[in-house]
Amino acid sequence: MIPEMKEVNDLVRKSNEFYNSADHLTYVTYPLVKDLKLVITIVENLQKSLEYGMNAVLLFDRTYKRIGPIPENFSARIEIFKENCMPKYGFSREHLLLLRDLRELVKHRKESPMEFIRQDKYVICSDDYGMKTITMDKIKNYLFQSKSFITKLNNLFKNARVF
């Protein structure tokens, strides 16, 4: 196996691990502990899962010289993914929006001066008094959308005989 394919395998494996972790936290851990602070960990796991998956597809195409060098910048990577990989492999616009939403949510949380829990909602405030709320229903929706991305990713690499 060529070295890049081993790296693609590793990225797909990590993508699946982060997805499985988010799923477990949502449907097993959260119902037991009822701690809404888990939503942040779940969102971060989903975000990492989708980014590792996107990076696996980009590296796969780069290995076979279908795209040029992969930039470090997230915005540039997602544009390459959108233009070259989405139509070819059947990823949907919803997957792209989910990638951006999760990335933005994690970034917003890291830059946030304050966050709190109120009435089954995790609230993240920004400097300009903007607020984002995360609920378990929203998390479950993110998981549902991520599942189709992960399924498509796994089918792509199963068919490409990478595993």
- Rounded CA-CA distance 52/99 in Å is 11
End-to-end CA distance of the chain: 10
Q: Does any domain span residue 7?
A: yes
Give the pair of three-digit tokens for residue 102.
């999760």
Between CA 140 and CA 68 the distance in angstroms is: 36
Residue 131 lies in a domain: no
Closest listed residue to residue 86, CA positions, set 13, 149, 146: 149
Domain boundaries, position 72: 3-110+136-159
Sheet with 131-134, strands from edge to edge, namely 114-118, 121-125, 131-134
Is residue 117 in a domain? no
For residue 1, the model assigns a pLDDT of: 55
Residue 21 in this model has a pLDDT that exceeds 90: yes
Question: Is there a domain that residue 145 lies in?
Answer: yes
Decide if 123 is inside a domain: no
Q: Stretch 102-128: mean pLDDT, rounded?
A: 94
Q: Is residue 20 part of a domain?
A: yes
Average pLDDT, the chain: 93
E-assigned strands of the chain?
A: 114-118, 121-125, 131-134
Q: Three-class SS of residue 70? A: coil
**Domain count for the chain:** 1
Query: What would the mean pLDDT of 54-66 be, rounded to a whole number?
Result: 93
The pLDDT-based confidence of 33 (bands split at 50, 70, 90) is very high
Residue 5 has pLDDT above 90, yes or no: no
